[in-house]
Amino acid sequence: MEAVTPSDSRLRALLDATKAIASDLSLESLLQRLVTTAAELTGARYAALGVIDRSGRQLERFLTAGIDDETHAAIGELPHGRGILGVLIDEATPLRLHDLSDDARSVGFPPNHPPMHTFLGVPILLRGVAYGNFYLTEKAGGEDFTDEDQEIVTLLAGQAAVAVENARLYEATTQWSKQLESLIEVGNALATETDLGRLLDLIARRLRELLDARLVAVMLPAGAAELRFAAVAGDGGEEFLGRTMPRSSSKSGRVFDRGRSERSDSVLDDPEVDRDVVRAFGARTGLWVPLVTRSETIGLIAVHDKLGADARFTDNDQGDAGHLG
C-alpha cells in the first residue's frame, strides 16, 4: 500500500472543502468555510477574507479564522482596507512577506491585536474584477508561505469570487424585480388615483420598501419660501405630516433649488443640513432626490438611514429613488 504524501492529503482536503462549499447556500457561511479551509491547508495560524465594497475603495466584509471572540472584542472595529490590506485592494496581485513589519507600506496593528509576521495575500478575482482578498499570517514553524500555499489559496479565491458575484447578481435581480413591481403599482395609481395625498403616501411607502430605509418623506412647495411634508413613511415620521421647513436654511430646500440628487453619509457633518430636523428624525445619513418634470422641480423626496449595519445609501439607491420619483 502506497504511503500518503502531505501533498496528497492537502489535495484531498481541498476536494473535500470544494464539495462542502458547493452544498452551502449562505454567502456568509460559505466564505467562512473558505477562510477556515485556507488556514488549515496552508498551516496559517490566522486567516482572513475581506470582501471589497462596490466602490472598490474599502472592505465591506471581513471574516477571520484563528482569532477568538474575546480577542475580536478587544481589538474593536474591523479593518477597512489600509496599509498592506490596502495595497492588495489597489494592486490585486499575490503578495508574500517574510515579516509584515519590515514592509514600509505596513501601518501596524491596533492595540490588543496578536503579533503577525509571515504573510500571504491572494486577490479574489473573476474575469479581471477584484472582489476581495485572502490574508494569511503566521505559518506553522515560523516558515515562509510557499508557492504551493499560494496556488491552493488561489484556487479557493476563485470559488470565493464566484460566490460573491452570484450573490451580487441575485441581489441586483431581486432589487430590479422589486423596483419593477413598485413602478407598475405607482404607474397604475397615477392612472387611477385622484387623491394626491394617497398617491404621495403610496410613493413614500413603496420607496421605503425598495431602498430598505428607515424614513422617507415627500415634500412639496408651500409658497416661495418653504417646503411642506406631504407624505411620510417610517419611524416616527407621521408627526411631521403637514409641517413646513424653510427652503433657504435646509438641505432639502437647497437640493430642491439646485434640482439634482445628493447624498450625505453623515448628516451631522453636512453644513447644509437643518440640525433641528435631522435631530427630530434621529437621522444619520440622507438621500435627497428632486421631482422634476419638464425641467421644473415640483417636489422633493428625502430618505434617511438605510437599515442594516451600514446606514449609508449607494449610487444604486439614488438611481432607484429617481426612477420611482
Q: What is the pLDDT along the chain (325 residues), one digit of tens a residue?
A: 444 455 666 666 666 666 655 565 577 888 888 899 999 999 999 998 988 887 677 778 888 888 877 776 767 666 666 677 777 778 888 989 888 877 667 766 666 577 788 999 999 988 878 888 999 999 998 899 999 999 999 989 888 888 888 777 666 556 555 555 555 555 555 556 567 788 888 888 888 888 888 998 998 999 889 999 988 988 777 788 889 888 888 899 999 999 998 988 998 889 888 888 778 888 899 999 888 877 888 888 898 998 877 888 887 777 666 655 5
Q: In this structure, what C-alpha cell is assigned to residue 145? A: 508561505
Which is nearest to 24 in space by CA: 13, 34, 15?
34
Closest CA to 52 of 128, 164, 157: 164
pLDDT at 1: 43
> What sign for the dihedral angle of Cα 55, 60, 65, 70?
positive
Read off the C-alpha cell for 257: 433649488
**DSSP β-ladder status, 213-222 and 44-52:** unpaired
pLDDT at 320: 62
> What single letter denotes the amino acid at residue 88?
L
Nine-digit cell string for 246? 424653510
Contact 62, 75 (CB under 8 A): no
DSSP letter string over 112-172?
A: TPPP--SEEEEEEEETTEEEEEEEEEEEGGGPPP-HHHHHHHHHHHHHHHHHHHHHHHHHH
Q: Please give the pLDDT value at position 30.
A: 84
| Contacting residues for 225 by C-beta, under 8 A, at least 6 apart | 246, 247, 248
Q: What's residue 3's pLDDT? A: 45
* Residue pair 260/242 in contact by the 8 Å Cβ criterion: no
CA distances from 23 to 26, 27, 134 (A): 9, 11, 22
Element (H, E) at 19: helix 6-22
Q: Which three cell numbers stand for residue 130?
A: 477584484
pLDDT in tens, 258-310: 999 898 899 888 988 888 877 888 889 999 988 887 788 888 889 899 887 78
**Do strands 226-234 and 129-139 pair parallel, antiparallel, or not at all (unpaired)?**
unpaired
How many of the other CB atoms lie within 10 Å of CB of 164?
Answer: 22
For residue 286, what is the enclosing H or E element? Answer: strand 286-293
CA distances 77 to 109, 113, 136, Å, are: 12, 11, 19
